Structures are given as C-alpha cells and as structure tokens.
C-alpha cells in the first residue's frame, strides 16, 4: 500500500498473480504477508459479504472487519520476495484469444494429456493457436485449432493444463492476452481490455518442457 495504490501478490513455484488498484491509497508505504489459511478463509467469507471492509494491521497481526464477521490472524514474519524480478519485461510474442473458447478447449484436450505431467502444448503460427496433448503410455492424443490474433515468431510452448485452466477461470475478460518471450520463460496472462480503469491484473505461469 502506497500513494499510488494497493497491490496484492500471491505466488508459488509455478505461478504468480499480481492485482493492483489505484482507487485505494495510503499516506505512507506499508505491507504485510498474509498466511495461506486465513487468506483462503477470507476469500470464502468475502464471497458472502457486501459493502466495504476495514483492515487494521501491525508488524505481527492483522484484523479484517466486515459487516458480519471479524477475522484476526497472525502475519508471516519477514519480507516478501522481490516478485518483480521474475516478471519478464521483453515479450515480443503476443496472442489475443477468446477466453471462454480456449478455456473450453483446454478442458477437452487435457483429458488426453499424461496423468503425471498434465502437459498441454500451444502451437502458435499466423492467426491460429493449436491446443494439443498426448499420452504415449496409452497411445492417445487430441488437438483443437482456435482462431486468435498472434504477433511474433512461430512458437511451441508447454504449460501444465490444470494451472492454465485455473488462471483462465479466475479472469472475467472476454478476450485475454498471452505474452511471451520464448518457450523457456514464463508466460504472462492478462485481460485484453480492463473493465475497470482503476485496476489491473497480471498472471504469470511457468512453462513446461515439451518432449521430443
């Protein structure tokens, strides 16, 4: 929280999400790290709440006051990692595609992916995205061709299907952007157009190696 707005960040070793709002500001810079368990509980409670909430915190604890609930929890000690360092800044390859279409295609095609890896491959060329998967153990495969707007070099990039589906399910835009530098670096996903000019969301997903 600072004079420019408020930023929420969550990550694991495979994916990262950054959500920023410009309509909530602070007089001075401050931050805290919320543990996963209270964060999950808060997410479930907020789905039932309406109106504003109040967040009070110090160096050890946080209190979230809502209309019908109050959540108090202990914070994670330490400093949050420098997440900006892992977000690629030079991404010349960009695809714009219908979110629902690619979401549904991923769910259908991923049935044929290897159960252990859950690897899905995106082949980008021209204005076409081919979503494909295979399981050599059972000699099965599937693919779907989707229309898209693509700028950049022809590319094949692999992702864990479950993670990509989860990301798309948590975006609401009709069209999403997948921005990439190369198949070995993280892909960035975000709405093609922000519905609210005071907010922006960015989701990062690490790629998987595609077998020969």
Same fold across 6-84 and 86-205: yes
pLDDT at residue number 109: 98
How much is the pTM? 0.91
Name the band, by pLDDT with cuts 50, 70 and 90, for residue 212.
very low
Q: Which fold does the domain 6-84 belong to in CATH?
A: DNA Polymerase III; Chain A, domain 2 (3.10.150)
Tens of pLDDT, residues 19-54: 999 998 888 899 999 999 999 999 999 999 988 999
Cβ atoms within 10 A of the Cβ of 110, count? 19
Helix (H) or strand (E) holding 15: strand 15-21
What's the mean pLDDT when you consider all of the chain?
95
Name the band, by pLDDT with cuts 50, 70 and 90, for residue 1.
very high
Tens of pLDDT, residues 163-191: 999 999 999 999 999 999 999 999 999 99
Domain residue limits, the chain? 6-84, 86-205
Q: Which CATH class is domain 86-205?
A: alpha beta
pLDDT at residue number 27: 86
CA distance 176 to 167: 11
Residue 75's Cβ-count burial label (10 Å; 0-12, 13-18, 19+) is middle
Name the band, by pLDDT with cuts 50, 70 and 90, for residue 195.
confident
Tens of pLDDT, residues 73-105: 999 999 999 999 999 999 999 999 999 999 999
Residue 137's Cβ-count burial label (10 Å; 0-12, 13-18, 19+) is exposed
3-state SS class at 64: strand
C-alpha count within 13 angstroms, C-beta hemisphere, residue 30: 11
């Amino acid at each position: 929280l600072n004079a420019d707005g408020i930023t929420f960040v969550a990550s694991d070793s495979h994916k990262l999400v950054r959500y920023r709002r410009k309509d909530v500001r602070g007089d001075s810079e401050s931050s805290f790290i919320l543990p996963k368990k209270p964060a999950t509980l808060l997410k479930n409670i907020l789905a039932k709440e309406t109106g504003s909430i109040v967040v009070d915190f110090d160096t050890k604890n946080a209190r979230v006051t809502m209309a019908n609930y109050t959540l108090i929890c202990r914070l994670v000690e330490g400093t949050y990692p420098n997440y900006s360092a892992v977000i690629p800044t030079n991404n010349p390859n960009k695809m714009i595609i219908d979110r629902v279409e690619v979401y549904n295609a991923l769910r259908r095609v991923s049935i044929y992916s290897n159960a252990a890896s859950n690897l899905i491959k995106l082949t980008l060329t021209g204005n076409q995205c081919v979503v494909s998967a295979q399981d050599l153990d059972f000699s099965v495969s599937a693919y779907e061709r989707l229309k898209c707007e693509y700028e950049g070099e022809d590319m094949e990039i692999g992702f864990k299907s479950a993670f990509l589906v989860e990301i798309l399910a948590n975006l609401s835009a009709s069209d999403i952007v997948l921005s990439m530098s190369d198949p070995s670096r993280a892909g960035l996903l975000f709405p093609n157009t922000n519905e609210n000019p005071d907010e922006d969301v960015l989701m990062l997903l690490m790629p998987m190696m595609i077998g020969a």
